[in-house]
Structure 1
């Protein structure tokens, strides 16, 4: 058989008949109830003019502070093909009454047309990293056929935007869902309508707004409302709220897969040893099978994250072998575990960038990871944990124990809430043995930079920078990266 004849006989699939373009003007106008000014095709959807790329549809959202219509010139200068607007403009566009409502309509149309297996991810800790790991695993499984929400686009704007960006021919979709208040995930999961819903863990993030850890578990369990009966809930076996989550899933008629260290976990870690790349070599029991794979990301928390990934990939119909390869190749995300080797007097120093987010559970996990990191000196810059409300002082003071166990040489505390930890360290006499760690409290990231400069960085140091994003500790990371500049 000749090559040409073989190509002619290549089996046709439904996906092969789907349009290559993401959206065209006619469909956008139809699903949004708008009016198109011209015929056009777009390859992407964007709401920030600074991030527009050639071929994008720019959605001009009108907010309380800024109006996206004011950035149309910038969007088209960056390569936008057309815009979604609520007033006539001198560019190719679809005119609608409400651009936010139109974006949600476009998202609904994307969800309705797809045959992809959809995964929803939420949890108090680790959801963005796990979402990225799931995407890498399913993208490898489908040879480039996976889609996911980028960055932390997990709210009432980010979720519909991420859905609207999903190509008709996608085979998997992975969507992150976050919340600050009860009811928010219920609204998001109604849009995503996942086949598989994963809760990474339950921890006291956003407890200021929800009042108790049980209320947080209830709010996270709202993700199950979007699943049709027969869908799969993937839940952590080790959290005290396990029964609460299990019952919530059972009430929806869902299949349940559990992961963790517990003997009753469906996907259970049997062994983990340090790997040469700084990650871990993990042995997992899954039913009658044992899986052995490597994780590039360091830390015991990533071992547990990997179990969640494996369980979810299985539930979504992906390839678990491909998932193992993806986990072995993953690198840390900016602000969420990225590691930088930087020039310092006497050699290279390690900077661990955890500057995007912080809560009590993730603080403990990353300090434990730092304790296991080979280093001449260990330095930590810890910023305030936000949205803890009346619990803030207690949760900050409780970090004294993991700080002590981390074997730090120098500690910089940043932000008003960290005063509670500063007082607890002074009260506990942490410096009584060996005079370490030396610690100081700062009001801002800029002051923390000054303190680090005074202390100095040398080859062999390991520096952890972690705090809530609002503190701007990314500026500390940037200064460390350019230490010798």
Structure 2
């Protein structure tokens, strides 16, 4: 974690102390007084919904070491560093501390799959590698993450970067300053602000372009169809990963900094969803078993295996870690409750993640009666209707499925499902979660839950359900 002398911190943050200065160094930081721990520095951020300056007394009462503010409150007996913009100052402190961290930093982003890859890679690299906690991956979470880095105890760091607007990734790339970047996918996410797939690719590419000269970018070879990734500087080597008979974009031979690495995936005939990823001669030979279940998870696995082998993780250690891994919160978790199996992948949703998640569910639970709860996918911009219809049409749901739709895109998904050949009586549009709760309560089989975060579909998991 950071250890910043108060005077040094004020210099870095372009601030000045009021109400005295702390008697000890600034170490960890908080932006929410509800979770602030004694000894932390409180950053008083102002948002559209509330002003952190209104909670200075609460921070003081909770044992804050100091506060970083744009306007001091002299009635609060707490050292306050006065700056022009507390968020910019937080970024400055994080940027400065990151530059002191001498061990490898891996940055991860993508339209979907980034948290899964972060957690899986963290499991493989071991507990000595620091990684982003939960979903602290945006312009607030990344600086808080970087300020936790500790060269004395960490062997390296895995930092996740998530955005929803133009310009944010450039900032995050500057803060993270990675030696290696992993880009998991480009898909239709946050299109209201990013425009189209080319716009998404452009934003995601900034993390790759922000890799230190001499560093590496590891990505699926399919991403090189986008011009933005072809413009990564020659000083950064691109490891382009292909799996199976995946189509290779044309013109790669014109890119001096691209090396193509091929992996093979073989399904296990005896265990549904299980398979074996094998390297070819371009990497140390190895074969790794994993419960993937979908093309997207196979690609995630290949990215993680490639990164681990790059860092020299032994094959036996890598396999053991893959076997111990379990999906992260609301990202493909499986629960059991009486005669139900619930596949919970509802942290968020976009067309790419929806298609891949349904593919995995169908594979894992092909022998079960199936009930699908599909929440709408937010932030798809002006073409939201078409994205919902096209995605639903491509899902390939079994004809005997029970399908329940929720949200603003429900009618569009219904149209797409009908276009795919599903009968009208299999498709139901629901108004609220209470109705769905009653439906699930009477069902026997496997239940699929996925939709955008705002729908809170995880609340449909019955009380007492146990992780499988």
Query: What band does the TM-score fall into relative to the shorter chain?
Result: 0.7 to 0.9
Deviation at 1:321, TM superposition (A): 4.9
Provide Cα deviations, 1:105-136, integer angstroms capped at 9, x if missing partner. 21012111110211111111111111222222
Structure 2 CA distance for partners of 1:211 and 1:349, relative to 1, 3 Å: same
Provide Cα deviations, 1:276-300, integer angstroms capped at 9, x if missing partner. 6965443333615322223356534
Are 1:154 and 2:125 an aligned pair? Answer: no
Are 1:90 and 2:73 an aligned pair? Answer: no
Give me the whole-angstrom Cα distance separating, in 1, the residues matched to 2:293 and 2:244: 21
Give me the whole-angstrom Cα distance separating, in 2, the residues matched to 1:260 and 1:471: 35
SS in 2 for 1:289: coil
Structure 2 CA distance for partners of 1:76 and 1:410, relative to 1, 3 Å: farther
- Given that residues 53 and 78 in structure 1 are in contact (C-alpha distance below 8 angstroms), is that contact kept between their aligned partners in structure 2? yes
Give me the whole-angstrom Cα distance separating, in 1, the residues matched to 2:4 and 2:269: 47
Deviation at 1:44, TM superposition (A): 2.7
- 2:9 is aligned to 28
- 1:71 is aligned to 55
SS in 2 for 1:398: helix
Q: How many residues align?
A: 445
TM-score by length of 2: 0.85
- 2:149 is aligned to 166
Provide Cα deviations, 1:346-369, integer angstroms capped at 9, x if missing partner. x34221221121111111111111
Are 1:415 and 2:417 an aligned pair? Answer: no
Structure 2 portions without partners, runs of 5+: 249-259
Deviation at 1:231, TM superposition (A): 1.2
SS in 2 for 1:130: helix
- 1:382 is aligned to 374
- Given that residues 293 and 328 in structure 1 are in contact (C-alpha distance below 8 angstroms), is that contact kept between their aligned partners in structure 2? no
Which stretch shows the higher mean deviation, 384-393 or 31-40?
Answer: 31-40
Give the alignment of 1:358-373 within 5 angstroms.
358-373=349-364
Provide Cα deviations, 1:413-443, integer angstroms capped at 9, x if missing partner. 01111211113334555128xx6xx221124
Give the alignment of 1:107-146 within 5 angstroms.
107-138=94-125, 140=126, 144-146=127-129
Give the alignment of 1:237-316 within 5 angstroms.
237-239=221-223, 241-242=224-225, 244=227, 246-249=229-232, 251-261=233-243, 265-273=260-268, 279-285=274-280, 287-295=282-290, 298-315=293-310
SS in 1 for 2:268: strand
Give me the whole-angstrom Cα distance separating, in 1, the residues matched to 2:214 and 2:433: 51
Provide Cα deviations, 1:310-329, integer angstroms capped at 9, x if missing partner. 22334456556544433322
Give the alignment of 1:375-454 within 5 angstroms.
375-406=367-398, 409-426=401-418, 429-431=421-423, 438-443=426-431, 447-454=432-439
Deviation at 1:38, TM superposition (A): 2.5
- Given that residues 232 and 315 in structure 1 are in contact (C-alpha distance below 8 angstroms), is that contact kept between their aligned partners in structure 2? no
2:190 to 199, 206, 216: 206
- 2:89 is aligned to 102
- 1:472 is aligned to 456
Give me the whole-angstrom Cα distance separating, in 1, the residues matched to 2:189 and 2:144: 25
Deviation at 1:199, TM superposition (A): 1.0
Are 1:340 and 2:335 an aligned pair? Answer: yes
Give me the whole-angstrom Cα distance separating, in 2, the residues matched to 1:363 and 1:243: 22
Q: Quote the RMSD (CA, aligned, Å).
A: 3.0
Which stretch shows the higher mean deviation, 165-174 or 106-115?
Answer: 165-174
Give me the whole-angstrom Cα distance separating, in 1, the residues matched to 2:31 and 2:313: 31
- 1:456 is aligned to 441
Provide Cα deviations, 1:364-389, integer angstroms capped at 9, x if missing partner. 11111121123532111111112222
Deviation at 1:48, TM superposition (A): 1.7
Give me the whole-angstrom Cα distance separating, in 2, the residues matched to 1:268 and 1:151: 30
Deviation at 1:26, TM superposition (A): 4.7
Give me the whole-angstrom Cα distance separating, in 2, the residues matched to 1:457 and 1:97: 58
Give me the whole-angstrom Cα distance separating, in 1, the residues matched to 2:320 and 2:60: 40
Which stretch shows the higher mean deviation, 226-235 or 393-402?
Answer: 393-402
SS in 2 for 1:259: strand
TM-score by length of 1: 0.82
